[in-house]
């Protein structure tokens, strides 16, 4: 498998900020914890559907002990000191349908709206394609118009299912 999406890459955001995107590893627990702490209560609510101010040790273990196939994540951090965590995108294959994966993304408030979400999701889609995944399923709150816009940018014409305040997007994974 050509694992281009899993490599370490530096990208420049719309405002000129240089960001390093790379696969998440077990040593990233403290970066992940600091990144969550850097998110506003509203951003945490939009990501977790509640204001989750911190992660437990077990959650940090789960979110950083990845097998790279069933559970894969890319993290973004500044490319110069301080090496703050700025965002993360992940997918987890559905056990009953290995061609579909649940995906999620979180971006710290300080860099929202600068193109990091798009950069992470484009690379996550490439990683999914490299692993034979054909669709990413994303649950998000209806109030999160920025995420809906990101989904529309990635897949023009995408539609969303509704279940109360929660929307579901089925994002097709473009073939390689």
Decide if pLDDT at 59 tops 60.
yes
Name, in order, each residue with C-beta under 8 angstroms of 161's C-beta and a sequence gap of 6 or more: 167, 168, 170
Decide if pLDDT at 1 tops 70.
no
Is residue 158 situated within a structural domain? no
For residue 88, the domain's CATH number is 3.40.630.30
Tell me the pLDDT band of 9, cut-offs 50, 70 and 90. very high
What is the model's pTM?
A: 0.94
Is residue 69 situated within a structural domain? yes
Name, in order, each residue with C-beta under 8 angstroms of 92's C-beta and a sequence gap of 6 or more: 70, 71, 101, 102, 103
Tell me the pLDDT band of 4, cut-offs 50, 70 and 90. low
Number of domains in the chain: 1
Q: What is the mean pLDDT of the chain?
A: 94
């Amino acid at each position: 498998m050509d694992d281009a999406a899993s490599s370490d890459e530096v990208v420049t955001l719309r405002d000129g900020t240089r960001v390093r995107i790379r696969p998440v590893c077990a040593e990233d627990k403290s970066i992940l914890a600091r990144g969550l702490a850097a998110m506003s209560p509203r951003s945490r609510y939009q990501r977790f559907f509640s204001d989750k101010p911190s992660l437990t040790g077990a959650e940090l273990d789960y979110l950083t002990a990845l097998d790279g196939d069933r559970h894969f994540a890319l993290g973004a951090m500044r490319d110069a000191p301080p090496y703050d965590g700025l965002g993360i995108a992940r997918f987890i294959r559905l056990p009953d349908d290995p061609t579909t994966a649940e995906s999620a993304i979180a971006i710290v408030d300080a860099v929202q709206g600068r193109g990091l979400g798009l950069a992470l999701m484009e690379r996550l889609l490439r990683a999914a394609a490299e692993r034979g995944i054909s669709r990413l399923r994303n649950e998000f709150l209806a109030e999160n118009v920025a995420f809906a816009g990101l989904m529309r940018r990635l897949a023009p014409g995408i539609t969303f299912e509704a279940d109360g305040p929660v929307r579901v997007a089925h994002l097709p994974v473009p073939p390689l």
